[in-house]
Chain A
Amino acid sequence: MELHDPVPAATGATPAAKATLVQVEKLRAGYGRKQVVFDVDLHVGKGEIVSIVGANGAGKTTTLRTIYGMLPALGGTITYRGENTTKAFATHNAARGMSLIPSERFVFGDLTVKDNLLLGALHEKSAATRDARWKRVHELFPILAERSMQKAGTMSGGQQRMVSLGLALMSGPKLLMLDEPSLGLAPAVVIEIFSAIRKLADDEGLSVLILEQNIGQALRIADRFYVMRSGRIILEETNAQMRARKEYWDLF
């Protein structure tokens, strides 16, 4: 399997020259002494949607959580918006525009939709900005207005996903990190959600890092792909290259 060299941002060789928002170099990560991520290099540009694909247990989630600051990195560096955030905590990164939606339990089930969304805007001081985001979120997902007072945990899987996205968007993120967003959702719902994400990336320059096992869905919106297996990145490809593949069995 050939490993394509990562396209350097500086030369502008990527289709649309994008500045790098987050750069990860030689990342080693794991849980306590159990290392599961080995020497991972990746980057995400501004307004770019990047997908990491791989089987369960490949280390995708661990990578994501380490970038976010929920897990301490065991080695390597993470640079976000020009700042070295390798040792930063989740609360610090959240305040600086990183947003993470986990693969399971991604809403506050006991709280209403409205409370969920308000929590997303916790760090936002300006009421005007909050209201603007509130409008935007309800434009993207009208159902949230209808179900405002319903407990999030009682909604369907797809609706909960929308709540979780709304929650993330209320914080006005610069980098949105999604862990298997299409899991358990009907294709139509996935299309709706992914369209919204693509729109945000195009209109507002939101960067997205999305973990997926479902390559098919990821191909809808991702500009670039990393493939992980056994804790390492084994491949980097553009959307066109990934799309052109005849089969994916040997990636996992």
Chain B
Amino acid sequence: MGSVNFGNFAQLLADGIFNGTAYGLIGVGFSIILSVSGRFHIAYAMTYTLAAYVAAWMGTQFGMPFWPALLIGALAAAVAGALMERLIYLPLSLRALSVGSDPLLIMFVASLGLTVILRNGIALATLSQSSVNIQGFSNQGLNWGPITVTTLNLTMFVTTWVLVFGLWALLNLTSLGRMVRAVRANWEMSLCVGIDPSLIFVAVFVIGSFFSGVAGVFSATFSSATPELGLNGPFFYALVVAFVAGLTSGPIRIALVGVALGVVEAMSTLFLPTQFTPLVVFAILFFYVALRPVNFKELRRKMLPKAQVAT
């Protein structure tokens, strides 16, 4: 904690904005899954990690350049997410409802199981490797006046906002997007107009997991890919961003909340040692949710009764 001067401040602000953009990306993906399907999908952290490993593998095994590898990684995440919904969450949800249990908790526990399987599966598959790195991106520092930014930061910033605006366009300008927003707004009425919610659920898992994959690849490019990649800070921040922004918010707003969170976190290092910044984030979550509880009843409504799914 040095003395505050403009240079310091500007650098912190820049760092905060970049970190916050990453949080926003993760948060948008998590939010679209939770707000539309109601699944408390903790294994989201694993699609994040999986993408990083796939992208790294593409680079080292096939010599793929950065961007195609990132795309493949994110697609792998998207497919994994869709499979989780179709093969695990949906059958569990139906089964829980047919015996009158609370589906949300059962799916959450299943999500934990998926996390355990994937985390250790990845560790097993890469046991012999000492470090797994994303290839093909040479990170350079750029000096802009008082601050230093890296090309990686900039790339991630631009990519994120492209994706966020793209999602906004998808949601607001296309028919699919209208259906997604419909299911999120009023699941029962969606049935009344003939939307099959289970298809929409798969769609949001594809979208959300894709976002998590992109975020995961960038995260691994900063450092390296480890099985713990998704399981520490980033995932928790995604939750905070998603809930603080509100589950009915659009992607742009969620991303902005992410940036705000990043900036607040960076600024808090002026007052606290770095190890306590997670407490700041936690405090934000705590006060926000204590003052304005999330409408979990709405999430419960998403659970599909048996009749509605054409099997």
Contact = CB atoms under 8 A, between A and B. Distances in A.
Are any A and B Cβ atoms less than 8 Å apart in their complex? yes
A119 B182 CA distance: 8
Contacts of A106: 189
A111 B178 contact: yes
Contact of B189 (A69, A89, A108): A108
B90 to A, nearest CB: 15
Most buried by B among A91, A102, A115, A123: A91
Interface stretch (A16-24, A93-101, A184-192, A234-242): A93-101
B178 A91 contact: no
Contact of B307 (A89, A118, A119): A89
Contact of B191 (A90, A108, A109): A90
Interface residues of B, number: 25
Interface in B180-209: 181-182, 184-186, 188-189, 191-196
A115 B193 CA distance: 12
Most buried by A among B192, B306, B309: B192
A105 B188 contact: yes
A108 B307 contact: no
A109 B248 CA distance: 11
A101 B195 CA distance: 14
Contacts of A123: 194
Interface in A30-55: 32
Interface in B99-116: 100
Contact of A171 (B98, B185, B194, B305): B194
A131 B156 CA distance: 43
Contacts of A68: 192
Contacts of B178: 111, 115, 118-119
A175 interface: no
Chain B at the A interface: SS class: helix
Contact of A120 (B193, B196, B306, B308): B193
A70 B189 contact: no
Contacts of A7: none
B125 interface: no
Nearest to A171: B193
A187 B195 CA distance: 33
Contacts of B175: 118, 122
A204 interface: no
Contacts of A91: 191, 194-196, 308, 310
A122 B183 CA distance: 13
Contacts of B284: none
Given A92-B310, A110-B181, 19 more contacts: A32-B100, A69-B307, A70-B188, A70-B305, A70-B307, A89-B308, A90-B307, A91-B191, A91-B195, A106-B189, A107-B189, A108-B182, A110-B248, A111-B185, A115-B178, A119-B193, A122-B195, A171-B193, A171-B194
